[in-house]
Amino acid sequence: MIVTIYKKKAKDYDVETYIDMLNKEKKKRFGNNCIPQCLWDYYINFIYNNGIYYGNNIPRDVVENAINNGDYGDFDDYKYVDETDEDFIERMKQEDPFFIDIKQKVVCFSI
């Protein structure tokens, strides 16, 4: 798969190089603890398998958008008052989030 980045002029990158650029940008600008690693790994794998389809695919902007505008967090950030983790997980099966990691208690609705 090829990813074309449009800045002043178009340049093509193979998907492995593009993903490496995303990982380096994330580490350089935000460090390693800015987004749950399990979610970042899932997102990178999603890009690897499906490509990136929205307009701006410049690595700096993709990383910044995912971290600053993503709707994700710990289960406790989204649970109702007195809702157990088990009840929350059952509710999430109905709402179909983009990503959920039960072991690490991370949920993501958009990234």
Percentage above 70 pLDDT, the chain: 91
Angstrom distance (rounded) from CA 109 to CA 92: 10
Residue 24 has pLDDT above 70, yes or no: yes
Specify whether the CB–CB gap between 100 and 111 falls below 8 A: no
Can you read off the two tokens belonging to residue 102? 């039960």
Name the band, by pLDDT with cuts 50, 70 and 90, for residue 7. low
Angstrom distance (rounded) from CA 106 to CA 111: 13
Average of per-residue pLDDT across 34-47 = 94
The pTM (predicted TM-score) of the whole model is: 0.85
Nearest alpha-carbon partner for 98 in 78, 69, 72: 72
Higher pLDDT, 111 or 84: 84
Average of per-residue pLDDT across 24-49 = 91
